[in-house]
């Protein structure tokens, strides 16, 4: 314990709660202030007229980050929460009435991709390899690193990595190296919109709206939430995270 050391955490979203737990584990007295009537922040649920809506996140990724937090607090995530994999994760709908079911299960996903673009399988595996490299580098070198200031972030090391991972390029064009049909190009690039970025523009600091031709995503979600960077704490960790949706 650190007697007399008291910390106020403003906001009981996932980030604030994770910070409060870790500060407590470090021995601080912690007060959490939340302006709403309930905790969770954007991770919430609205039930009205027999319908249930997620008020924020629907896709739970990087469960290892949550597992770390629970483990450090002496708890087991699986004892506290029932995580249920969804299959498909979601369905992407196109203007011509077609749709693609996106599954984490390769034997299910591959025939679906082949239906839309015959012969795509080897190119899809190359896409996954490329995406895996970007994910691992992005996570260990950006998400899980502490930056003391702008100079630290925009240093030569990061600029090299940004070029290597093509993080500043037009993502739709990057994805087009692997897929020939517009449907699969859209299916595997629209996710940049989660970050407020259009897949068909070079990276900018201001968010862009989806273009009219963007596909729509329908989630079969039953809830689940993740805040990626806010749950992080301190310097680099392992990069072995797997998606769980
Ligand atoms: C529509 C939508 C979909 C999303 N989908 C996903 C997804 O699928 N997967 C994913 O990983 N992420 C998703 N996100 C992002 C994710 O929800 C957020 O990154 C995460 O919930 C942010 O957590 P946080 O604790 O940083 O902030 P918040 O959840 O915003 O929490 C902040 C808290 O602070 C409180 N607060 C603010 N000001 C004060 C004050 N002055 N005094 C007291 N309390 C205060 C607020 O009431 C709130 O409870 C989505 C977000 C939205 C909006």
Q: Catalogue all structural domains in the chain, each as residue range(s) with its CATH number.
A: 6-80 (3.50.50.60), 90-219 (no CATH)
Nearest CA to ligand 1 atom 4: 57
| Cβ–Cβ < 8 Å for 240, 132 | no
Exposed, middle or buried, 212 (CB in 10 Å: 0-12/13-18/19+)?
A: exposed
10 bridge partner residues = 33
Q: What backbone torsions phi and psi does residue 115 show, to the nearest 5 degrees?
A: -60, -40
Find the 106 Cα to ligand 1 centroid distance in Å.
32
| Cβ–Cβ < 8 Å for 124, 176 | no
3-class SS shares of the chain: helix, strand, coil, % to 5:
35, 15, 50
Cis peptide before 116 (omega within 30 of 0): no
Residues 80-89: tens digit of each pLDDT: 999 988 899 9
Residues 43-54: tens digit of each pLDDT: 998 999 999 998
Which of 53-62, 70-79, 169-178, 235-244 is predicted least confidently?
235-244
In the structure, what pLDDT confidence band is assigned to residue 200 with cuts at 50, 70 and 90? confident
pTM for this model (two decimals):
0.76
Residue ranges lining ligand 1, Cβ < 6 Å: 10-16, 33-36, 41-43, 56-59, 61, 226-228, 230
DSSP for residue 210: P
Find the 34 Cα to ligand 1 centroid distance in Å.
12
Please say if the pLDDT value at position 209 is more than 70: no
Q: Which of 212, 235, 231 is nearest to 95 (CA)?
A: 212
CA distance 124 to 135: 16
Which residue among 11, 58, 65, 232 is best mutated to probe the pocket of ligand 1, counting the most ligand atoms within 8 A of its Cβ? 11
CA distance 8 to 16: 10
């Amino acid at each position: 314990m650190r007697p007399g050391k008291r910390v106020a955490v403003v906001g009981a979203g996932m980030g604030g709660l994770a910070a409060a737990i870790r500060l407590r584990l470090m021995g601080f007295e912690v007060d959490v202030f939340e302006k709403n009537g309930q905790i969770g922040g954007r991770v919430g649920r609205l039930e009205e007229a027999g319908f249930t809506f997620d008020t924020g996140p629907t896709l739970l990724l990087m469960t290892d980050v949550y597992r770390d937090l629970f483990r450090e607090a002496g708890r087991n995530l699986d004892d506290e929460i029932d995580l249920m994999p969804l299959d498909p994760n979601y369905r992407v709908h196109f203007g011509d009435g077609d749709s693609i079911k996106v599954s984490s299960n390769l034997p299910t996903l591959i025939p679906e991709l082949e239906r839309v673009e015959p012969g795509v399988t080897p190119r899809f595996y190359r896409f996954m390899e490329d995406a895996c490299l970007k994910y691992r580098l992005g996570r260990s070198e950006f998400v899980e690193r502490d930056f003391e200031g702008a100079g630290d972030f925009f240093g030569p090391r990061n600029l090299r990595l940004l070029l290597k991972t093509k993080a500043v390029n037009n993502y739709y064009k990057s994805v087009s190296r692997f897929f020939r049909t517009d449907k699969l190009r859209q299916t595997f690039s629209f996710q940049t919109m989660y970050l407020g970025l259009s897949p068909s523009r070079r990276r900018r600091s201001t968010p862009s709206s989806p273009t009219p031709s963007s596909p729509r995503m329908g989630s079969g979600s039953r809830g689940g939430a993740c805040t990626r960077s806010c749950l992080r704490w301190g310097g680099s960790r392992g990069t072995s995270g797997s998606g769980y949706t």
